[in-house]
Amino acid sequence: MAQGSVDALCNAFWPERRAAWEAAIAGQGIPLKLRSEPNDSFAEAETMVARMDELGIDTVVLVTSDVHRHGTDFDVSSVTARWEETEALGQRYPGRFAALWATEPQLGMAGVERAEEALRQPWVVGAYLHTHSFDRPFDHPDHYPYYALCHRYGVPMVMQAGTSGGRMPSRCGEPIGIDRPAIYFPDVAFVLSHTGWPWVEEAVAMALKFSNVYLGTGSYPPRHWPAQLVEFLRRPGRRKVIFGTNFPTVGHRQALDQLGELDLKPDVRQLLLGDNARSVFTRIP
């Protein structure tokens, strides 16, 4: 029997976090829309779980972090879940929520030690790099201790690839930057999220080249997935693309409704929505 879907990338969804998103969008003047429909927008935990049940979503993976200033116009920690929030969700709804621990390369060894503390918990299923907050390409030395932790604990590293979503440098998100880390850490699964746009062909090339490099769909609804990504998904990349929303920039209902427009074969859709994530995020049941 087929298992339900996994959203492999989601931000804090509680209604009180909307203000942080709106402030960031207004402050940077970026053309970003948040989900506003009552049945697909910010919600309390019990409402989100009911929505997941309706849509056939088994697990939502929340980016989780401490609060830190990054020195940019947008502090990603303002929209991520807190440790105690994700932990409480896991206890109240076992198996329905998990965490990606957000790395903090500017903190040096203190950040590495905090990440290791997080990864000791079974409900923390991987690490996350909000690349543009730190303006360090994927092969920057400051990231390697975190990649080593992923190797040690057998979890993936998810990173935002492509252009930044605000007034932060974009070149650090070029997908080719994963080339050396993928060679150095052959047992670590690297997920290039946000489709890698506008360097989508480059991202596809990395996923084709390396067995341990995957692509993530976060922040782009299926109707706006680049043609190169869709072609890759339908053919050689059927086991290399992982579904994620990056909620609230994409809603769960919005994404699943639009997915039907791609006319994917049932087995490809199942791999995309859940099986690929479970093969990479081995701590997800």
Residue 47's nearest CA partner among 15, 95, 20, 21 is 15
The answer as to whether 285 is a domain residue is no
- Residue 68 burial (CB count, 10 A): 15
Within a domain: 60:
yes
DSSP label at residue 275: I
Please tell me the predicted confidence (pLDDT) of residue 71: 61
Residue 156: DSSP 8-state: -
> What gap in Å lies between CA 125 and CA 70, rounded to an integer?
24
- Count of alpha carbons within 13 angstroms of residue 100, beta-carbon side: 32
Check residue 68 and give its pLDDT.
Answer: 74
Asked whether residue 117 is assigned to any structural domain, the reply reads yes
Residues 245 and 220: beta-carbon distance below 8 Å: no
**Do the beta carbons of residue 23 and residue 75 sit within 8 Å?**
no
- Written as one string, the DSSP assignment of 142-202 is GGHHHHHHHHHHT--EEEE-SS-SSSS--GGG-GGGGHHHHHH-TTS-EEEEGGGTT-HHH
Instruction: Decide if 177 is inside a domain.
Output: yes
Q: How many CB atoms lie within 10 A of CB 210?
A: 18
Q: Whole-model pTM?
A: 0.96
The band of 75, judged by pLDDT with boundaries at 50, 70 and 90, is confident
In the chain, the DSSP E strands lie at 5-10, 57-64, 97-102, 124-129, 157-160, 190-193, 213-216, 241-242
- Which residue type is seen at 267? D
Residue 25 confidence class, pLDDT cut points 50, 70, 90: confident
> How would you list the strands of the sheet with 57-64, edge to edge?
5-10, 57-64, 97-102, 124-129, 157-160, 190-193, 213-216, 241-242
The average pLDDT across 76-103 equals 95
Q: Which domain holds residue 167?
A: 5-280
The number of domains in the chain is 1
What's the pLDDT band for 191 if we cut at 50, 70, 90? very high
What's the CATH code of the domain at 54? 3.20.20.140
137-179 pLDDT tens trace: 999 999 999 999 999 999 999 999 999 887 889 999 999 999 9
In sign, the C-alpha dihedral spanning 121, 125, 127, 128 is negative
Using an 8 Å Cβ cutoff, are 78 and 24 in contact? Answer: yes
Contacts of 219 (CB under 8 A, 6+ apart): 165, 193, 194, 195, 245, 246, 249, 250
